[in-house]
Amino acid sequence: MIDTHCHLCDKRFDKDREQVLDRAFEAGVTHLIEIAYSPAIVPRAHALASRHPNLFLCLGVHPSEAAKVPDDYLATLRDHAGHARVVAIGETGLDFYRDHAPRPDQERWFRAQLGLADAMGLPVVIHQRSALEETLAILEELRPAAGGVLHCFDDGPEAVARARGIGFKLGLGGCLTYGHAALDQAVREAPGDMLVLETDSPYLEPEPRSLRRNEPALLGRVVARLCELKGWTKAEADRVTTANARELFRLPIGQGSLPASGNA
């Protein structure tokens, strides 16, 4: 399995980060993509990746950070995006639920990062909350050439059709286990080649929730629910979602890069 979206640089992992990674590998999570969504996280993310060859990076400016990050950071972000371990731009998008940044700032950084992704030939990881229509409208306007993923997908079949129309995949995590009827129907109807796995650790722990934190080792809970909805075996779910993640992020991985406990 590949966890395509996690935040292992979060302070909630400071006491046991290496053990968290060990548990992930033991649970069959062979590769991970760390999301460095603000300038302050980028050095920590690079350091983590340097210690773990099975961890890749996605770098960007989260919509909630859009008012804090100066426009000239885009040039620095472009430099960082040229690193061999960087496989995507983001998470970027629009968040009208929190409104931590003015909407014009959010949209300006969103459009800038879509342009950067095209310039670098990288896919984009999209965050949207209470802004689905506005987010999809911009994506349909600009149509990122390398595609991307709708992170933390929790919408219905209509959104699936629009995502497919622009070559995007759906990031499935803890929300899939929460009993959301529209999401369940969307996943039942979605073509298998659109689906990738994620945890968003330490957020969105899958059921049964401990109310503490999420971590990559719990990805199997998401897979179990995915299998129920699609009628797949666990082996099928692992094979399909791993192939989709490798294709989208063009991950330079093969059997030789797996940890001893891996079974991709």
Whether the CB-CB separation of 233 and 241 falls below 8 Å is answered with no
Angle (nearest 5°) at CA 261 between 257 and 263: 70
The answer on whether 184 is annotated among ligand-binding residues is no
Q: Could you tell me the CA-to-CA distances from 59 to 121, 161, 209 in Å, in that order?
A: 14, 27, 29
- Whole-angstrom distance, CA of residue 109 vs CA of residue 189: 33
Our measurement of the distance from residue 163's CA atom to the centroid of its chain's CA atoms, rounded to an integer in Å, reads 15
The answer on whether 180 is annotated among ligand-binding residues is no
| Closest among 106, 63, 107, 56 to 81, alpha carbons compared | 56
The answer on whether 5 is annotated among ligand-binding residues is yes
The answer on whether 7 is annotated among ligand-binding residues is yes
Strands 86-95 and 148-150: unpaired
- Known binding-site residues equal 5, 7, 91, 127, 151, 200
- Known binding-site residues for a divalent metal cation equal 5, 7, 91, 127, 151, 200
